[in-house]
Amino acid sequence: MTGLVFCLINQKGGCGKSSTCFHLAGAFAGLGYSVLLIDADPQGSLSQGFLGSDTVENLPASETLAALFDESCFFLDRQRLIRATDFERISIVAANQHLGDFNAPRPEKSGMIQFALRDFLEEQNAFDIVLIDCPPNLYQCSWNAMIASNYVVIPVPPEDFGTQGLRAVHQAIDNARKLNPTLRRLGHLVSRYDRRLLVHRSYEERLRELYREMVLDTTVPEASAFKVALACRQPVEIYSAKSAAAKTMRDLVEELLARVAERTRKRTVA
């Protein structure tokens, strides 16, 4: 794999992981990057966004990400898992309920299966960017994602006052780094943010105090444009390129790439 691999992780449900992957793909593609999306969530939300729920629910395991984990699929042509979407420069490996059978809660003890996604991505050389959407837990799918990624982004909803959940995410990242030393945290992404709400502003302030530069400057606002575009099965960059929502996603791309460049420079200097 010659491109950059990002995963979006948080065990908190509904914080915008899938929505951010969906719209980020549009923003990257709009800027000319070729994007491979990996749906690593048995809920299949990202796949449904691109392919429709009927299609996704009816896919056999052998045509989804589950094939990488399923012994009976080991001899299939894995390139067939990569599907084109309706959009230029965006492809996806889909997931559905079949992936649930493999999302074991103690992934560290699962032998070579931990490296299934990494090995698959190492075979790919046609993509600049890989975005991996994870489920709301830290089981096998998220673990595989972290082992396969260069960078982790942690979307956080600005109302999650328990720090316990984030601590578990950071612990899991530390554990994954033992097997994948290239993994870097790019930062927390405040998502579904409503600046009119005092509670959101206070949370953001506290998060920045706690994690400082480990919080991305870009915040993703709660905005109907994201929902409407998703309902129309189009990334907001394509649905409404001039909207504030589309600009937010372009800003996020720019910031992610700037942070990647900075990390690369630091590593080179060190």
Ligand X SMILES: Nc1ncnc2c1ncn2[C@@H]1O[C@H](COP(=O)(O)OP(=O)(O)OP(=O)(O)O)[C@@H](O)[C@H]1O
What's the min distance (Å) between Cβ of 32 and Mg ion? Answer: 27
Q: Which is nearer to ligand X, 94 or 220 (CB)?
A: 220
Q: How far apart are CA 188 and CA 101, in angstroms?
A: 29
Cβ pair 92, 39 in contact under 8 A:
yes
What's the min distance (Å) between Cβ of 205 and ligand X? Answer: 19
Q: How far apart are CA 166 and CA 157, in angstroms?
A: 11
Q: Which is nearer to ligand X, 23 or 184 (CB)?
A: 23
Residue (of 134, 218, 214) closest to 176 by Cα position:
134
Residue from 10, 18, 150, 191 binding Mg ion (CB under 5 A): 18
Closest residue to Mg ion in the complex (CB):
18
| Cβ neighbours for 10, distance < 8 A, ≥ 6 positions apart | 17, 134, 136, 154, 155, 156, 165, 166, 169
Q: Which is nearer to Mg ion, 45 or 144 (CB)?
A: 45
Q: Indicate which of Mg ion, ligand X, none lies near residue 15 (CB less than 5 to 8 Å, by partner kind).
A: ligand X
Q: Which of residues 30-59 bind Mg ion (CB under 5 A)?
A: 45
Q: Indicate which of Mg ion, ligand X, none lies near residue 128 (CB less than 5 to 8 Å, by partner kind).
A: none
What's the min distance (Å) between Cβ of 40 and ligand X? Answer: 10
Q: Is 191 in the site for Mg ion (CB under 5 A)?
A: no
What's the min distance (Å) between Cβ of 81 and ligand X? Answer: 21
Written as six digits, the tokens of 77 are 């042509």
Q: How far apart are CA 247 and CA 252, in angstroms?
A: 9
Taken in order 74, 111, 106, 187, the sign of the CA dihedral is negative
Cβ pair 44, 97 in contact under 8 A:
yes
What's the min distance (Å) between Cβ of 100 and Mg ion? Answer: 14
Cβ pair 177, 169 in contact under 8 A:
no
CA count, 13 A, side-chain hemisphere, 251: 13
Q: Indicate which of Mg ion, ligand X, none lies near residue 219 (CB less than 5 to 8 Å, by partner kind).
A: none
Contact residues for ligand X, defined by CB under 6 A: 13-19, 41, 43, 45, 135-136, 191-192, 220, 222-223, 226-227, 230
- Quote helix, strand, coil % in the chain, to nearest 5: 50, 15, 35
| Cβ neighbours for 178, distance < 8 A, ≥ 6 positions apart | none
Q: Which is nearer to Mg ion, 62 or 97 (CB)?
A: 97
What residues form DSSP beta bridges with 152? 7, 185
Residue range at the interface with Mg ion (CB under 5 A); choices 16-24, 26-34, 56-64, 209-217: 16-24
Q: Which is nearer to Mg ion, 45 or 96 (CB)?
A: 45
Q: Which is nearer to ligand X, 17 or 89 (CB)?
A: 17
What's the min distance (Å) between Cβ of 227 and ligand X? Answer: 5
Binding site for Mg ion (CB under 5 A): 17-18, 45
